[in-house]
Structure 1
Amino acid sequence: MDEPKEDEISLVAEREAEMVSSPDPLIPIKRKAWFLDPHPASPQEVSRFAPSMRKNVSLAHLRESKVLFRGWGSPLRRWGDWVDKLQPVYGDLWKKSGIFDAIAVSTYKIKKDHSSILGVAAFWCGETNTFVFPWGEATVTLEDVMVLAGLSVLGEPVRGSLAGEFAEIEQRMVREHRTFNRSTSKKADQSAWMRHYMEGEGDELEHIAFLALWLSRFVFPGPPIKTVKQHMLPIAIRLARGTRIAFGPAVLASLYRDLGAIRDNLVVHNSPKAEPLVVWAPFNLLQLWLWEHFLSLRPDKQNLIDNSEPRAARWHDVCRKSDFSLVHSALESPEFLWRPYMVSLENWSRPSFYGDIGMWYSGNTTKDEEVRSFAQCLRAAELVGVDCIEQYLPHRVSMQLGLDQDVPCHIPRSNSTWEVAWETYDITSKNIAFYVPPQFFKSGITLNYSIWWKECISACSILVENDIQPQGSLEDIHNFQSKVISEKKMKKIHTSPSMKRRKVEEFYDGMLSDCLVSANDSVSGDNDSVESENLQPSITRTEQLQSCATKQKEYMKLKPSTYFDCKVRHNPEASQSVKLDICETDVITALVNEGDSVMMGDSNRRNGLGSAECYLIARQPGVHIASQEAKLKLEQVVEKRMMMKAEEFQLEMQIKMLKEEVAAIEARAMDLEPVC
């Protein structure tokens, strides 16, 4: 790529980087990569801006939660007829205004899967406006809004006042609106509104009334329910005159806002008598997003798309009722479709920016409206809604847009006024440069991101395990997370495996030998001892020592962790056996030196207790060693278990080597030039 010009704003950075294909890296591959700006300029910026780790929401609390989705706009009974009546007259104008597909989507019935909506809301992070899953971040992007809802991301802001002729039309429509206040319902009821205007001749007044109902029910629903909102009239008038309005960012802002409200409501344990939470955003968009990105949450049935129908037609009038546990399992699984719109669907035309090869574009030369729309999806900005402003951070979910993922850095808010916020979003007059990836490009993550994300998840698990919810600003939370991670690293340094092993060896040299010596009075040469003596073959003390040392070395090499945090305790009340309690290990290996058993009686020495012993005891608290035969059986069981673990370890290493080979092959394949 050429060097950017002085006045040019680059949305994508191209550079070589060490890349891996998942958060669990095998061998990083250095290749050319494409990242969304901004990205961290120094390592110090990396650790500060992790997503906020918050308390988990239990499945029981999800089932008890009460949320009402008032903005879920289903079509009125004769709404499709009204659309069919006006489309031949105003269809071209709808295309010019960028609402043709959105009006078509409003005729589809998208059924609600309550469990999946609430389940995914439990993963929402309001500070980053992303879902924070164990495997990474994801969110509803402007691209999703364009493709699924048919809403434009280009155009004028939804806010603003009218002047001149537009203002005169507004006054006329306001007078019309007020006549419904004198009706029986005392409000502009949507059904009554449609019956009143649908009988007209299809003039401009009817068209404005149609658009006002569409906006009030499907785009910006709000209280009072099922009414045509008076503040929608100015927007409807602008649309009726062919003005293109950026509905995409406004709708996405309302969705972000209400997801935050649901998440906050879920973490507060309200009483059963508490009032339900009411949200007004069009959550049917989130339902479509879930079905597109999570295969395991999709309905079994899907529709075939007819020519020129929007993509949402495949989900019309299909149903899926999921259990909360299934939803939770699906969301925690890394089987997330980063770019579902790359999958070809019969009769569905993909936008022109889904090309076969990667392309760089400059704002001054880009005339294709769809390509500029994709550029808008790449820009981090403030989303200006009708009654809210939310931050859009696509650089945190670059893989959803076909680009590579680096550690995201912080972007300060610019939302003092809606005009200031809109300036961060609008690229109409800006000279921009951006890269559109090829359709089948397989994006990845940097090695730095993989390390950073593991630290984020590690800090989250510590907070959850200790039921810690840090308070304060977002930066305070990030500092707290960094402190927890640092303390955990220091703890690992101070408790190295060699130190653990040395402490355990010292423990067994003294405590276990003392325990067996003091058991002389409890383990007597009664019938059990005689029976064990007859079963035990004659073995010299030197052979016992050599055998025991050999076994000990083998098990220490295979699983050194079995040598720590164990304790052996003698139960003086046991007259026929020595009772051993085993804690926090799979296997215990105890070596009794020859000098530790000189105080034992002759009967015990005949049974082998006076010489070196190697007890291999399976993880089973309160095991009674009543005879030498029992000990031999335990040894056999443990040996089999250790052999199985060794085989599992070898299989894991083989799988890891195969994954490394696959990753290397994929990297070489990506470096190959495409065949013309």
Structure 2
Amino acid sequence: MDEQQEEEIFLVVEREAEMVSSSDPLIPIKRAAWFLDAKPVPVQELPRYPFSPMMHVNASPVHLRESKVLFRGWGSPLRKWGEWVDKLRPIYGDLWKKSGILDAISVSTYKIKKDYASVLGLAGVWCGETNTFLFPWGEATVTLEDTMVLGGFPVLGEPVRGSLTGELVEIEQKMVKEHRTFNRSTSKKADQSAWMKHYMEREGDELEHTAFLALWLSRFVFPGPPVKTVKQHLLPIAVRLGRGMRIALAPAVLASLYRDMSAIKDYLVADNSQKAEPLVVWAPFNLLQLWVWEHFLTLRPEKQNLIANGEPRAARWHDVGRKLDLSFVGSALESSEFLWHPYMARLENWSRPSFYKDIGVWICGDASKDEELRSFAQCLRAAELVGVDCIEHYLPHRVAMQFGFDQDLPCHVPRSNAMWEAAWETYDVTSKNIAFYVPAPPFKSDITRQYSIWWKQCMPSYSKLVENDTQTQGSLEDIKWQSKVVAEKNMKRIQTLTSIKKRKLQEFYDAMISDHLLSGNNYVSGDDDSVESQNFQLSAAETEKQNICSTKQKEHMGLKPSNDRVGKGTHNPVASQSIKSEICEATISTSLENEYKVMMEDFDQRNGWGSAYDYIVLSPPGMNITSQEAKLKLEQALEKRIMMKAEESELEMQIKVLKEEITAIEARVMDLESVAEVQS
């Protein structure tokens, strides 16, 4: 065994820990857990605490609505692009598969519609220090796995900044010469439409193939200024791909997305005086749109496509869309209804990669050399992402649940981006002896108890105000705006809780009344056809109501109204029983409801008494409860009322807390205004 094989690198560690569910963090369970290991240096050299986004500022909805961001890299297929792909696929399909770009080229033929609200909403909660989205329920981000599965880009291969040698240099020189001829055209640039029209007329030779790849790279992979042109600096990559070389496009694409997400975030939180011009970004943000639809169920389009055999996963989102409001997006992002790992679930006609196992398994030794398994391992490694013109930090251990693992406190990973070669060394696992664990789909990821406590300290809620936002009047206005939003939310919540309390009480009384009516406690005498209530003495007003009801009932039955009082005999045997029933419903419902409410209100006041049966025995005067069945039903009703009282107490406590939060927010705003006045 050589020295390299002896140095086995574990990307996943297994240990026993106190775990809690993110949805129920109060009940810890000690069990064996799997964590991503991102410690590049000995533990004692690490900072004591991980990076905390506590002081991170989210963009306010006001800034989101007023933003002017132009997504120039959102590449839609040209009119005849699909025809060009279909022309070359039979010739170069196997070569595209060898270089790992077959699915990525297929994805470029799909139209992914824009939803600016979703993209801007996510940009508002982006953290450039960690390259993650900061939600109240945890961190998430677009990972290498997302880039590979949704975009079809390979995570393994050579760096995009590699150089050419030998025969490849000659091919590049030919392409550069061809590229310069377009500079002498009327447009003075290598326009993408003109480029495609020129090379589609060739007979599928190597020059056409290289030109095809150059256009694909310029429009769908690494778009940049000037807009809608074929980039000369991408020709070396096109030449290498044209010869079947595998290039790690996924980290380069993801690096550009991270870079532009940070640019948008900086733009959103900047002072308005710095926003005279729109912000132009060039990363392929259609990848982020796909990520949103895969992970947030509430933000998905209502319609989805069925995937045909052999099609990539992104085919389900072709030419479908949904225009959302920023407020709706904000609510969706705050909720914890996030699909951590949607790709583990089976999708009809979609061929899942082999690293999605039906049972959890450790991969090491020769098994780790499998290309698809090693691709998954590459997604798990904290590293630097080397892009065409940027280098970004990749920290998958901060979003371990997106890979099906448990989440622990994220350790610090130092940067290594002074030279792109050193950055690439942190990324590439091709020559390393690695070991990792592949989780099974049924596995339920949880968070450690320490992480739960830490994250609550970092992100108590979106309603908490940032302490250092009093430097400018603009930031004070943001805080006041946020305070107003939170106060309005709390007031709406109070109204909702109060409504719930009233509704439950009304449902309870209604149920008791219905039970009484159905039990037959108000009977109709068969001797003289009189209508009586077994348990209630009708008042004069109630008797008058009965008379009116009886008269209307007779009119409805086609009978002649009479002046006889209710209780006197009627002489129509056919209508008699119907009249009695309706009179019962009209009179008993009012009387019974009032009496039950009196009993319950009195019971609430005397809640210190013993059992419900004791209360029945000691019932106040005027409540004529004689039947054993009535006693039993009332006993059950009162027991249910005891449970309702407990629920009402809980609702009242929530209302009290919300009111206290509103008071605290108002006091905080007043303090900030005082500080601002002193500083001015």
The question of a shared fold, defined as TM-score above 0.5 by the shorter chain, is answered with yes
Specify the alignment match of 1:287 in structure 2: 289
CA distance in 2, matches of 1:220, 1:469: 39
Deviation of 1:469 (Å) = 7.6
Output the CA distance in 1 between the equivalents of 2:23 and 2:271.
33
Aligned to 2:139, what secondary structure does the other structure show?
strand
Given residue 331 of structure 1, which amino acid in structure 2 is its aligned partner?
A: L
Letter in structure 2 aligned against 1:360:
W
Q: CA deviation at 1:645?
A: 4.0
Q: How does 1:600-619 map to 2 (within 5 A)?
A: none
The one of 250, 262, 267 aligned to 1:265: 267
Q: What is the CA–CA distance in structure 1 between the aligned matches of 2:102 and 2:365, rounded to whole Å? A: 26
Output aligned runs, 1:502-651, within 5 Å: 645-646=648-649, 648=651
Instruction: For residue 649 of structure 1, report the CA deviation from its aligned partner.
Output: 8.0
Is 2:336 aligned against 1:334? yes
Moved more, 4-13 or 44-53: 44-53
Task: Report what 2:322 is aligned to.
Answer: 320
Are the aligned partners of 1:177 and 1:230 in contact in 2 as well (CA < 8 Å)? yes
SS at match of 2:455: helix
Q: Residue deviations 1:87-127, cap 9 Å, x none? A: 00000000000000000000000000011100010000000
* Partner Cα separation in structure 2 for residue 163 and residue 52 of structure 1: 49
Q: Deviations over 1:283-314 (max 9, x none)?
A: 00000000000001001010000110000000
Residues 331 and 459 (structure 1 numbering): CA distance in 2 closer, same or farther, change over 3 Å?
A: closer
Aligned-residue offset at 1:165: 0.7
Q: Is the 8 A contact 1:463 1:469 kept in 2?
A: no
Give how far 1:256 is off. Answer: 0.2
Identical positions, percent: 75
Q: Is the 8 A contact 1:54 1:469 kept in 2?
A: no
Q: CA deviation at 1:61?
A: 1.5
Between 1:436-445 and 1:51-60, the stretch displaced more is 51-60
2:388 alignment partner, one of 366, 383, 386:
386
Distance 1:138 1:651 in 2: 30
Deviation at 1:458, TM superposition (A): 3.6
* TM-score, L = length of structure 1: 0.68
Give deviations 1:159-190, integer Å, cap 9, x for gaps: 02212111111111100100000100000000
- Normalization by structure 2: what TM-score? 0.68
Give the secondary-structure state (helix, strand or coil) at the position aligned to 1:391. Answer: strand
The match for 1:476 is none
**Does the CA-based 8 Å contact 1:215-1:221 persist in structure 2?**
yes
Report the Cα distance in structure 2 between the residues aligned to 1:464 and 1:418, rounded to whole angstroms: 36
Aligned CA distance change for structure 1 residues 13 and 308 (closer, same or farther; 3 Å): same
- Partner Cα separation in structure 2 for residue 150 and residue 248 of structure 1: 8
Amino acid at match of 2:132: T
In the alignment, structure 1 residue 213 sits paired with structure 2 residue 215: yes
CA-to-partner distance for each residue in 1:205-256, whole Å, 9 max, x for gaps?
0000000000000000000000000011100000011100000000000000
* Structure 1 match to 2:616: none
**What is the aligned partner in structure 2 of residue 15 from structure 1?**
15
> Matched residues in 1 for 2:435 and 2:316: separation?
35
Distance 2:45 2:226 in 1: 50
- CA–CA distance in structure 2, aligned partners of residues 173 and 43 of structure 1: 50
Q: Residues 81 and 57 from structure 1, CA distance in 2 versus in 1: closer, same or farther, beyond 3 angstroms?
A: same
Distance 1:645 1:132, change over 3 A: same
AA aligned to 1:10 is F
SS of aligned partner of 1:14:
strand
* Amino acid paired to 1:70: R
- Uncovered stretches (5+) of structure 2, i.e. residues with no partner: 473-604, 609-643, 656-680
Show the counterpart of 1:115: 117
Q: Which moved more, 1:77-86 or 1:38-47?
A: 38-47
Code of the residue aligned with 1:25 in structure 2: it is P
Report the CA distance between 1:323 and its aligned residue.
0.2
Partner of 1:201: 203
Letter in 2 for 1:229: K
Q: Does 1:252 align with 2:257?
A: no
Q: Give the direction of change, closer, same or farther, for the CA distance of 1:48–1:359 in structure 2 (3 Å limit).
A: closer
Q: Is the 8 A contact 1:17 1:32 kept in 2?
A: yes
2:159 corresponds to: 157
Mapping of residues 98-247 of structure 1, within 5 Å: 98-247=100-249
Q: SS at the partner of 1:336?
A: coil
Q: Residue type of the partner of 1:143?
A: E
Corresponding residue for residue 280 of structure 2 = 278
* Structure 1 position 297 matched with structure 2 position 299: yes
Once the two structures are TM-superposed, the CA of residue 439 in structure 1 deviates from its matched residue by 2.0
Task: Give the equivalent residue in structure 2 for 1:674.
Answer: none
Shift of 1:57: 1.8
The answer to whether the Cα contact below 8 Å between 1:23 and 1:453 also exists between their aligned partners in 2 is: no
For the residue of structure 1 that corresponds to 2:367, the secondary structure is: coil
* Regions of 4+ moved over 3 Å: 39-48, 458-463, 641-645, 647-652
Are the aligned partners of 2:345 and 2:441 in contact in 1 as well (CA < 8 Å)?
no
Q: 1:242 to 1:147 in 2, by over 3 A?
A: same
Q: CA deviation at 1:6?
A: 4.2
Per-residue CA deviation, residues 371-411 of structure 1 (Å, 9 max, x unaligned), is: 11000000000000000000000000000000110000110
Query: Would the aligned equivalents of 1:125 and 1:131 in 2 still touch at CA under 8 Å?
Result: yes
Structure 2 Cα separation of the partners of residues 319 and 300 of structure 1: 8
What does 1:2-81 align with in structure 2 at a 5 Å threshold? 6-22=6-22, 24-38=24-38, 41=43, 45=47, 47-51=49-53, 53-81=55-83
What letter is aligned with 2:21? S
C-alpha separation in 2, matches of 1:60 and 1:346? 41
Give how far 1:268 is off: 1.1
How far off its partner does 1:454 sit? 1.0
Query: Structure 1 residues 469 and 303 mapped into 2: Cα distance closer, same or farther (>3 Å)?
Result: farther
Following TM superposition, by how much is the alpha carbon of 1:51 offset from its aligned partner in structure 2, in angstroms?
A: 2.6
CA distance in 1, matches of 2:647, 2:443: 41
> Structure 1: any 5+ residue segments left out of the alignment?
471-550, 555-640, 653-676
Tell me the SS of whatever aligns to 1:275. coil
Is the CA contact 2:38–2:381 (under 8 Å) kept in the aligned structure 1? Answer: no
Q: Which amino acid aligns with 1:338?
A: W
Give the count of matched residue pairs: 484
1:447 to 446, 449, 453: 449
| CA RMSD between the two structures | 2.7
- AA aligned opposite 2:649: A
What residue number does 1:88 align with?
Answer: 90
Structure 1 residue 461: deviation in Å?
6.0
Three-state SS of the structure 2 residue aligned to 1:429 is: coil
Change (3 A) 1:467 1:383: same
